[in-house]
Structure 1
Amino acid sequence: MTKIFAEDLAQRVGTRAIHAGQRPDPTSGAIMPPIYQTSTYAQEALGVNKGYEYARGKNPTREALERNVAALENAQHGFAFSSGMGCLTSIMLMLRAGDHIIVGSNVYGGTYRQMDKLFTNFGVEISWIDMRDVQKVQDAVKKNTRAIFIETPTNPLMQLADIKAISDIAHKAGAISIVDNTFASPILQAPLALGADIVWHSSTKYLNGHSDLLGGVAVTNSDELAAKLQFNANSAGAVPGPMDAWLTLRGTKTLALRVKAHDANGRAVAAWFAKRLGAERVFYPGLESHPQHELAKRQMSGFGGMVSVETGSKANANTVVTRLKLFTLAESLGGVESLVCQPAGMTHASVEPARRAEIGITDGLLRFSVGVEDVEDLLEDLDQAFKGL
């Protein structure tokens, strides 16, 4: 298992982002960890090695990334994966047939697809619950509940879940709480401090921040859960190559700076939308009009760069995305460049139309990943794109 360097937790989060989990290379003094581009390792004798046998199990570059993100989340153990879905798969493999889990009704479409279309085939029972209402989560608990999966803020409706209250419910039921912290990142939200047992990310997004790789990361403070994650990662094999691990580690060095810029731009863009379209059509927890704004202030240190808006129709949405110049029509999020997508036809296309309608994902909904460009340029781009609508 990859445990962090103990001294790394003594630093503040911006310093950890740059230094945690890595030390200058003892051979050359290189500041950045080497890319250990190897599939196997020489062993000194039968049963004697330097801690490395085969790269699916361990790789020094990957371990540096795992320690780094673990330190950012104030965790003892970290595990890197080849994608966010590979990460979630390894977490889900801790479940057994007959286990029951509670999952937020508005989660990323890939999360829904994996759980609803794959793991139900293996006997996992799922209750999809609106986690804005803590009582509904409590009411969904069963004797066989083993985990509660929390995504907050949610993709794409920016709904929040009370991590502490729901984690308390999980623990009283003998279950674990698992938080997808992708949208907030470790800079804006610390789920482990609020009682979560496992925190995971699509590191494709804010952790990497440059839209040039796929990855996932999970962290925990539990030795027992860490042992299970290590076993699943090695057995299922959804691990990243050393180059992707190195690129992600390069990205986390600027994470604190980037997220602060995303947050500032996100607030400005959301305020512009609220003034232009009306606050009721803007989904952003940083707005005072957001029904969970007080919860956002309580459990987050910022509101991030993800903003969704209701344009009213698919035709309106299409007009906007074809006019935009700086916001590129594309899936994904969290990169330095601004993106826009239509969740109904893109990130959540795998969700059945009736279910999308039930949870509020309309054909006119657009999700903006606000980048770190000069905000005046972004607002000018939005102004010309929405003109006349």
Structure 2
Amino acid sequence: MTLKKSFETIAVSGVSGGDKATGAISFPIYQSATFKHHGLNNSTGYDYSRAQNPTREEAEKTLAVLEGGKEAIGFSSGVSAITACIHLFKSGDNIILSDDLYGGTYRLFEETYKDFGLQAIFVDTTNTKNITAAINENTKAIFIETPSNPMMKVTDIRAVAKIAKENKLLVIVDNTFLTPYYQKPLELGADLVIHSGTKFLGGHHDLLAGFIVGNDEQILQRLRRIHMSTGATLSPFDSWLILRGIKTLHIRLDRAQENSIKIAKFLESNSNIEKVYYVGLENFEGYELNKKQSTGFGATLSFRVKDKKIVPKILESVKVIRFAESLGGVETLITYPITQTHSEIPEDIKKRLGVDEYLLRLSVGIENIDDLIKDLENAINSVKS
């Protein structure tokens, strides 16, 4: 009798349950660039680590199962995973993207690959009419973030997938914020899922990683070829760190989400805060849609202060919370998107979205909630002194 394992059990044990050769509970780090052949045409299945490595393979297979995909491919960063997806297209092709997304994604499409003739159109994907209006004869894919970065806008993945199917387009979803623990885009109709494994999957701010997960064998084969040829592959050690991080993914996310809800409510009640952007607030615009397609709200939120003059003081005054880029780790980080993660987004788009001098973003960690709220309270109140 085969036991059907839950998400949590698979996350803890990995697909192999440890090393079958030695019985090691922690899957080994195969820190080798190349592998010995037993004879002509007699390989162990591993030849060169750029093509495949046992530790990376374990991380890939584990994430594929958790995400509900046939296969996952591990990259050296989230940006390199997005880059591989871009290589699926050719000059003249058109890609529709969420207008509110990670600044590095914008930079790839509008700077690096624009010179190669790839056309990108950025629209508010929360309104599917915008997507339909942007489709033309050269459109090949729709790329969305949901919830988006940093405004936490929620896009209906099922609705986007329906439009894509009718127009024979690929749907690519960046699932970094919610991870497969809270959201499974492939089950909602997406073709490919992207992760910055640097964030919640790793969970400790100590690695760089990216993943693509999918079900279509033909597309996966193309991506594998791109992966090996361009060389931005996930290292054995970072693969092991991902495996270690995934073991506690569900515990970390549940605790961080619990903290996030309390922090969001605290910020809402503070007289210096104009608005809080968090999917877990019942009065937030994307709350009901997110509940329909996800099982959680995540641990990232943004908030707008009433007076931009208090921003420097807040960033200088936090003690428990760290002023740093990135997100998804056990430590709580505060970020100033306009000068950090979204500095390269054009001014007109930032203005339309509300990414301005008043906006701060929090990646909530797993520290004691009283310490976090007291730290925020002291930082905000320090403005008065």
* TM-score normalised by structure 1 residue count: 0.95
Counterpart of 1:105 in structure 2: which amino acid? Answer: D
Which ranges of structure 1 fall in alignment gaps of 5 or more residues? 1-6
Match of 1:291 among 285, 291, 303: 285
Question: Is structure 2 residue 311 aligned with structure 1 residue 312?
Answer: no
Alignment of 1:151-170 (within 5 A): 151-170=145-164
Check conservation: 2:300, 2:364, Cα contact below 8 A: yes
Distance 1:383 1:44 in 2: 64
Name the SS of the counterpart of 1:201 in structure 2: strand
Give the structure 1 partner of residue 41 of structure 2. 47
Question: 1:53 & 1:284 partners in 2: Cα distance?
Answer: 46
After superposition, what is the alpha-carbon deviation per residue over 1:244-301, rounded to whole angstroms, capped at 9, x for unaligned?
A: 1101110000001111011111111111111114886110111122112110111121
Q: Is the 8 A contact 1:182 1:200 kept in 2?
A: yes
User: Cα distance, 1:10 vs. partner?
Assistant: 3.3
Contact 1:261–1:372 (CA<8 Å) still a contact in 2? yes
Q: Which moved more, 1:216-225 or 1:349-358?
A: 349-358
Once the 2 structures are TM-superposed, how far is the Cα of residue 152 of structure 1 from its aligned partner? 0.6
TM-score by length of 2: 0.96
Q: Which residue of 2 aligns with 1:363?
A: 357
What is residue 88 of structure 1 aligned with on the other side? 82
Q: Which stretch of the first structure deviates more once superposed, 59-68 or 318-327?
A: 318-327
Aligned position for 1:244: 238
The within-5 A match list for 1:107-122 is: 107-122=101-116
Q: Could you say which residue in structure 2 is the equivalent of 1:382?
A: 376
1:294-316 CA-partner distances (Å, limit 9, x unpaired): 10111121111111001134422
Instruction: Map residues 4-43 of structure 1 onto 2, 5 A cutoff.
Output: 10-43=4-37
Amino acid at match of 2:130: K
| 1:334–1:369 contact (8 Å) kept in structure 2 | yes
Q: Is the aligned partner of 1:174 residue 2:183?
A: no
Name the counterpart of 1:3: none
Q: Deviations over 1:120-144 (max 9, x none)?
A: 1111111111011111111111122
Q: Does 1:223 align with 2:221?
A: no
Distance change (3 Å), C-alpha of 1:313 and 1:231: farther
Residues 1:159 and 1:320: Cα distance change in structure 2 (over 3 Å): same
Distance 2:185 2:271 in 1: 33
Equivalent residue number for residue 193 of structure 2: 199
Partner residue in 2 for 1:4: none
1 CA distance for matches of 2:378 and 2:89? 50
Q: Report the Cα offset of residue 9 of structure 1.
A: 10
Which residues of structure 2 form unaligned runs of 5+? none
Paired residues of 2:261 and 2:280 also in contact (CA < 8 A): yes
- Provide the C-alpha distance between the structure 2 equivalents of 1:167 and 1:8, rounded to a whole number of angstroms: 33
Match of 2:269 in 1: 275
Which residue of the partner structure matches residue 178 of structure 2? Answer: 184
What secondary structure sits across from 2:72 in the alignment?
A: strand
Runs of 4+ in 1 over 4 A off after TM superposition: 277-280
Q: Between the two proteins, what is the percent identity of the paired residues?
A: 39
Q: Kindly provide the CA deviation profile for residues 198-247 of structure 1, in whole angstroms up to 9, marking residues without a partner as x.
A: 01110000000000011001111111111111111001111021001101
Shift in Å, 1:320: 0.9
> Over the residues paired in the alignment, what is the CA RMSD in angstroms?
1.7
CA distance in 2 between counterparts of 1:8 and 1:96 reads 45
Secondary structure of 1:349's match?
A: coil
Aligned to 2:204: 210
Q: Specify whether residues 148 and 107 from structure 1 end up closer, same or farther in structure 2 by C-alpha distance, changes over 3 A only.
A: same
> Greater CA deviation, 210-219 or 138-147?
138-147
Task: For 2:230, give the aligned amino acid.
Answer: A
1:31 Cα deviation from its structure 2 partner: 0.9
